[in-house]
Amino acid sequence: MGDVVPLRVLLADDNEADRELAYEAVAEFAPDFAFTTVGTRAALFNALEIGALPHVLLLDLHLGLDLGSEIAEQLRSHAAKEVPLVILSSAEDEVERARCLATGAVDFWLKPLCYADYGELLQRVRVLSLRRQAVETQNPVIDAFGLKRGPLPSGVAAAAEQASQKRQHEED
């Protein structure tokens, strides 16, 4: 069996306290992530140019003076255009949500307001990361519809199933 590739997640957020909170939560809830944070648009694009692309990109809706929809639009012509982009916002903004989704974001989530809320967010990130990793390695562990195709890495099947059941329960 091959080496396990860490799930690469990049967070772009201009709020240092939010980046630190996210980093601490990842250390606790998802220590297997290769987690990187940046605080500016320039640092984001620099990070995307060097090294391996992330499996998931988490982007603050307001990264400095830039809107997430503007950055999403710029990413469409970048090598990272296939990376799932999730916009994080501290407030519901339906207009900007629609704009971000129209320009390529796969989802728009409220930022976790406390440390404990990161557990659920990181499980959702794990599922997106695994989908991207499967595409990247041409190993269809989870297909585009979220269906399991073959064995999942150790510990991940339970986390994916738990996140799926929670979403189902919330929809009911």
Q: Is the pLDDT of residue 50 over 50?
A: yes
45: left (phi over 0), alpha (psi -120 to 50) or beta: alpha
What whole-number distance in Å separates Cα of residue 143 and Cα of residue 90?
A: 31
H or E element at residue 75: helix 68-75
Pick the more confident residue, 20 or 5: 20
Of 8-22, 59-73, 135-149, the least confident: 135-149
* Predicted pLDDT of residue 145: 39
* pTM across the whole model: 0.72
Residue with tokens 């903004």, as numbered in its chain: 93
Per-residue pLDDT reduced to its tens digit, 76-124? 888 778 888 888 888 888 888 888 888 888 888 888 767 778 888 888 8
Domain ranges of the chain: 7-171
Class (C level, CATH) for 7-171:
alpha beta
What whole-number distance in Å separates Cα of residue 51 and Cα of residue 41?
A: 17
